[in-house]
Structure 1
Amino acid sequence: MNYEIFISEKPKNGREITEINGIPVIKPFQIHSARIAFVGKHTEHVPQADALVTDNKNLWIGILTADCLPVFLIGENVVGIVHAGWRGTLKGITYSTVKYINEFSPIKKAILGVSICGKCYEVGEDVYEQFYPRYADCFTPVGNNKYLFDLKKANLKQLKAAGVPSIESINLCTVCNNDRFFSYRLEKTDKRNLSAIRLK
């Protein structure tokens, strides 16, 4: 499991990062879907997807977030990166990406990246109702039909359900650590944090 991860920090805008240490970064056109794209040796177009998978050592695959959750997936000779906002999480994107990769290389480890934490992410009844009852334990009611949603916990459930044997978490929140990371909720910014992974 030779891999390397990269997480950008302020003031660098992840949108502007096209290479890391001289190696190109492939980023998808994110659409809050459950779509997975495989990136091989030749990628002429930007894939429309919210998860990327590659077995190519000569590139990074990355996603942009400003509160949503990046999930790094590591297999034997393959890596993946998932953009898990609440919509993608609801559609089971993390679970689906693990199952996709497992078809040709068993996932050995997952890392939950930098995202908004369960104490800062307030959502309405409309979001809660879509996740109920399967993810009810990921929500904490705070009154006025509002809930705190633990996005990491919801995706942890998907990783466990998919049988990932080792799961780590980077315990940094985009809101609590806004001096280091961009948060759309806090700043309404169009700047993004880049989370990327590559095979070594």
Structure 2
Amino acid sequence: MNTVGAVDLDLEEVRSILAENKIVNADVLVRDGATQDDFIDAMIGNRVYVPAFIAVNKVDLVDGKTRAEIEEELTERFGEPPIMVSAHSGYRIEDLKDAIFDDLGFMRVYLKPVGGPADMDEPLIIRSPATVEDVCNRLHREFADKFRYAKVWGRSAKHDAQRVGITHQLADGDVLSIVTRR
């Protein structure tokens, strides 16, 4: 067993876990900070971890001291501070929106009809990373089949109105115009 950094596992633990799963001969590399649960998850491969964060609502109903205690307890328990919000008063709602996009991996793609202006008010919200094909599939099931090319304005394009294929990787805030066959 090779380790990189500080590991919470010893050799006998690893051997026992491998033996329980009928693995008798293996090269094992354990990276920094791996726990027994991490090792089992990696070996079996049946767990999927999804990004998450904690948001606490109705913080306008408690006093500042209680709010601080709740925030401290959750930070200590989960290792990350919660987002304290109030839907009623709007307190930190923008922070919650930012966390949804940043932490949960969403991105905005603005759509532009051919020959028309881009709709900058209502973006298409899609999971990141996304390709032009992902956007086509979200819009209509035939768009990907009838796809000719797309034009992109934004961070993923080398220049404005760059002509791209269906596999082009989009970035948050890109403007996309899709051209299909009739």
Instruction: Establish whether TM, by shorter chain, passes 0.5.
Output: no
Which category describes the TM-score, using the shorter chain as reference length? under 0.3
TM-score, with structure 2 as normaliser:
0.23
